[in-house]
Structure formats: structure tokens, C-alpha cells
A and B are shown apart, each in its own frame.
Chain A
Amino acid sequence: MPQRELAGDPLARAHLHAVPGGDDGGATGREGHVLIDMPERTEAEDPLRAGLRAAVGDPSHDSPGPGDRPGRGRALWSSAWPKLTAVAMALVVWELVVLSGWRPEYVLPGPGAVLGRLWTDLLAGDIGVAAAITMKRAVIGYAIALVAGVSLGLVLARVKVLRTAAGSLLTGLQTMPSVAWFPLAILLFQLSEAAILAVVVLGAAPSIAIGLLTSTDQVPPLLVRAGKVMGARGFALYRHIIIPAALPGFVAGLKQGWAFAWRSLMAGELLVIIGHAPSIGVRLQFSRELSDAEGLLAWMLVVMLLGVLVDGLVFGALERKIREGRGLTAEHA
């Protein structure tokens, strides 16, 4: 047995001197081959593991050594380059389509022109103004959806009869394309802010409610039993066991809810034009009416970028933090 593997573990070291070779019921193999667990290594001895830990930004590792800094930068780069490559490839394909002359450039401009336009609009402040209007709606709509979804989920989780009755209805709501709500919303609320918000809420709330229901259903019974044995009952059981155990699934529901909210919002802004509020949707629509293909594509990029940004920076980061803290990161990732 190599000496190196025994460093740092007093018990294992002790064992080296105390190998009894005696038959003690399964722990010894044939002829004095002692089958023990490999001693646990500390990071000081295992730079590979320390590096890995730094790379995933493990939140439980609260004393970052001096060696962690470059590791973090490298990790950022290693997660960024595939995305950058993908973007570059998409731009190349786009440019090739334009160069093929499939459509004239005033209908389908190339990436250079569109990115240039994006930059000027950004500098002019147009994008900031539009994004502010749109994001305000997104945040308000999503907040209402959050409250509605969580309340609905909690009620259904507590009342079994309602659950069986409303369960399939909720799935129906979730699968229904939210654009289909607009005619009704416009009838009810006219062409107003309220019509847009109503559809955003209807789009996002079912996902949030379903996420809450499935995540609480999937809490391992063993953990609930463990909590009960140690004296967690009633509200304490929810607070200390069920909610934290359900958190990863709930956040997945929140993330999906955001995707639905964003889609509903874009559909809403295209259908419900409120002239005095130059939102992203309004700008898109105006670009089309003016046959301004360059502007249209630039605004589409804004929609995409905002959606990805919120998804990644808010929900993705939240999800990653929770999953990594519990060792739930996918093996194939």
C-alpha cells in the first residue's frame, strides 16, 4: 500500500500499524488483505479536486485559497467560449444567406448592418427607453404571476379534492398558447396595459403553480420522516424540510414561468399597440410598417438578448447555485 495515500488520516495511519489480520466479520479479505475505505483526502493534498471545486464555484467552500482566482477566470472563459463560438457561427450563416442573394439587402440586411444599427439605437437611447417599458411590464406581470401561481399551488397542494379537480385544468392552461387569450383579454380590458398584463399572468402562473405542486410531490419521503423523528411538525416541517427539499423543482418552474411570461409579453406588445408607450413590441411593429428591415432585425436581437439575459443571469444562476450546493450537477454537463 503506497504511503502517500495514507497521509493525513490518523485512523488510516494507525491502521497501518495495527493490521490485525484477525477475522472480524467481513472486514478482512483473504490472508491479511485489509479492505478498508480509502482515507478521505483533504484538498491540500489533492490539487485536482481543489481546482474542480474552484471551477464550479462551490458555495459551501467558504475559504477560497490564493490559488482560486485564476481558476475562476479560466472557468468563466471555458463556459463562455462555446457560447461565443455558437454566436459567431450563427452570424456566419446569416452573412452567407445574405451573400447568396436569396433576398435583396433592403429586405434581409446582413449582420454588420444590423449590429451597427443596434449600436446607434443603443447610443441614441431608444433601446434603453423601450427596454425599460417592456421590462417594467415583464416584472409587474411576472410578480403577479408569482403570487397567483404560488397561492394556487399551495391551495391545490393542501386540498386534495381541488387537486384532482383542477389538476388537469391547470395542465390545459399551461399548454394553451397564451396568444389565444388576447381576443378575450382585449374584449375585457380594451387595448390597455391591463390586457397585456392579464395574458402575461395567464401565461406564467400555471407553470409556477405546476412547478410548486410537482416539486412538493417529489420531496423524498425519507427526508420527511427524518424531519418528523427529530421533532419537525406542522409549520416547522414545511419550513425546514419540505420547502428546502422542493426548492430545485420550484425554481425550474419559476424559470419556465419566465419563458412563458416573456413570450406572452412579446405577443401582447405586438397585438395591443399602445402608441404613447414605445415598447419593444411597438418598435418592432413600427419597423415593419416602415419596411425598415434593419431596425426590425435589430429589435429582434434586443428581444432575444433580454430573454437570454434574464433567463441566464436570474433563473439560471439561481438554479445553478441551488443544484451545485447539493451535488445535483448533471454528470453529462
Chain B
Amino acid sequence: MSAVLPHAPLSVLSPSPAPVALRLDGVTKRHGAGGDAVVALDTMSFAVKKGEFVCVVGASGCGKSTMLNLVAGLDTPSAGKVTVAGERPALMFQESALFPWLSVEENVAFPLQMQGLSRKARAARVAELLHLVHLDKFAKRRPHELSGGMKQRVALARALAQQAELLLMDEPFAALDAMMRDHLHSELETLWQKTGLTVVFVTHNVREAVRLGDRVLLLSSRPGRLVAEYQVDLDRPRRIESPEVARLARTITDRLLEAARAAA
């Protein structure tokens, strides 16, 4: 059902016929300089195939956001190389990062505006996306009028609007209630299946990772290293409450605890 590969023979090394959407080769990232430098990522290598859905789990502070920032091109690695196929990836930040001076619909339209789409074309696409995240009624509101979970849904709609081939998501559903989260899981899954999008999805919730991912990468903290990866060979669509998901999640959680003990 699932292959457990501790101290991985990483997928980079295995010859794979599918084209690669993202590749990290020995990527190290230090924050700060000199004695106070924090090694957020330590010689990390892995590859993500085109159309793959990869989830990343790991303790808080293990460098997950740092990794996404590097992939998005917002930071440069201290060593190693990040290769992204195609153009600029979309990134959904851990904080919603909405623009407070724009309404909900203007926020979602922003990437389309940057791509030079006409006002009319933008409006149709924005309405569609707001419907997807169940916020049609809030199109004219400003971000400060929304709850935390609603803001995250707007941020999701905005990230999807970019229509990038690679979608990076940093704990996107952390602030949502179970109902809304389940809804967005299946919407995201459907969208991914329909479009052949590649997704890198960071989460603290191991069950969520197993629910969504083709593969789950597990990072250790201080320094952030890739310690294990799990292939999830369960049929889709999966249910987050299903015993199969629970079983694999338990295995991964145990490994996560082990990594945390080793770090302490």
C-alpha cells in the first residue's frame, strides 16, 4: 500500500520517465550571517514530477516556508540549486497576504490584471473562483471585514487565478472548519485532476497530507532535512476519516515524533 523509505534513496536519483516540474539539488538555506546564522534547510534534494501532488509535513520551524519561498524565487539558496520547469509558480502564503486596499474581487483579479487580462475577462474568472470558495456574496467586501478562514479562502482563489503550472501552498487550510476544509480538499483535488497542475502542499496535519498527496515528504527540524518520504497509493477520492488514511497517517506521525526526539 505504501512504501516507507527512511533516509531516502530519493526520487531525484531514480530515473523517472515523467518530466520534472521542480527539482532541488543539495539546497541549503541559512538565515542571517556569522554566529547567529540559522540553517533553515540543509542540503535538501528531491524532485516533483509534472502533475504530481506532493505534501510536505514537518515540525514547526523546520524550514517548510523557507523551502517554498526558495521555489517561488523570493529568496536565493545559500548553496545548491532550485530548478522550476515552466514559468513563475503561484504561492499561497501561510498568512493570507491579501491587499487591504482592494476588495475581495479585486484581490482575486490581481494576478489576472498583472497578466494583462481585460476587465471583462477578469470579472468572469473572478466570479467563478469566488463561487468555488463560497464567497460570492462577499465580492465587494474588504479583507478586514472577513474572518481568518474566509481570508484564506480568498487567498486560495487568488492563487488559483494565476493559473500557474506549479502551485505552492503553505498550510492553506489551517484556519478552516472541518466542513469547509473537506469541501476545498475535494475542489482542489478535482481541479488538480482536471488541469494536470503540479502541487506542493505544506501542512501540519498528517491526515490532510495523506488525504491529498501522491507522496508525503517528511522534514526534520534544526536543520531542516528530508528524512523520509511516503508514497500514498490509495484510490481517489479519499476520505480524511477513512481507516486507510488513518493508518498511514499514524505511521507518518510516529516517524515525525521520532524525528522530533532526535532533534531535541
Contacts and interface: CB of A to CB of B under 8 A. Distances in A.
A326 B149 CA distance: 18
B207 A325 contact: no
Contact of A27 (B91, B141, B178): B178
Contacts of A35: 177
Contacts of A62: 140
A64 to B, nearest CB: 13
B205 A25 contact: yes
A230 B160 CA distance: 11
Nearest to A228: B74
A25 B207 contact: yes
Given A25-B205, A37-B177, A229-B91, A11 B114 contact: no
Given A22-B241, A327-B144, A222 B205 contact: no
Contacts of B179: 11-12, 14-15, 18, 36
A272 B31 CA distance: 59
Interface residues of B, number: 50
B101 A24 contact: no
B95 interface: yes
B81 to A, nearest CB: 20
A40 B147 contact: yes
Given A24-B240, A230-B110, A236-B114, A222 B97 contact: yes
Interface stretch (A67-75, A142-150, A239-247): A239-247
A225 B110 CA distance: 14
Contacts of B99: 223, 226, 241, 244-245
B74 A325 contact: no
Interface in A252-270: none
B255 interface: no
Interface string A218-234: 00001101101111100
B141 A60 contact: yes
Contact of A231 (B88, B103, B146, B206): B88
B88 A229 contact: yes
Contacts of B247: none
Contact of B110 (A18, A24, A240): A240
A60 B140 contact: yes
Nearest to B241: A22
Contacts, number: 107
B145 A327 contact: yes
B72 interface: yes
Contacts of B72: 229
B100 A28 contact: no
Given A40-B147, A222-B97, A223-B97, A230 B208 contact: no
A26 interface: yes
A327 B162 CA distance: 27
B142 interface: yes
Contacts of B88: 229, 231
A230 B181 contact: no
Given A247-B101, A327-B142, A24 B150 contact: no
A326 B144 contact: yes
A57 to B, nearest CB: 14
B91 A24 contact: no
A37 B149 contact: yes
A35 B93 CA distance: 25
Given A11-B134, A225-B97, A229-B91, A20 B183 contact: no
A40 B150 contact: yes
Contacts of A27: 177-178, 181
Contacts of B195: none
Contacts of A15: 177, 179
A23 interface: yes
Nearest to B100: A326
Nearest to A22: B241
Contact of A34 (B158, B162, B178, B240): B178
A23 B145 contact: no
Contacts of A40: 138, 146-147, 150
A24 B178 contact: yes
A326 B114 contact: no
A60 B177 contact: no
Contacts of A327: 100, 142-145
Nearest to B72: A229
Nearest to B183: A11
A60 B142 contact: yes
A320 to B, nearest CB: 15
B47 interface: no
Given A11-B183, A245-B101, A231 B114 contact: yes
A325 B140 CA distance: 12
Which 9 pairs show the lowest CB-CB distances between chains A and B? A327-B144, A27-B178, A36-B177, A231-B114, A230-B111, A226-B97, A326-B100, A25-B207, A22-B241
6 contacts: A24-B182, A37-B177, A228-B74, A229-B72, A245-B101, A326-B101
Given A37-B177, A62-B140, 15 more contacts: A24-B178, A24-B182, A24-B207, A25-B206, A35-B177, A60-B140, A60-B145, A226-B97, A230-B110, A230-B162, A232-B114, A326-B100, A326-B142, A327-B144, A327-B145
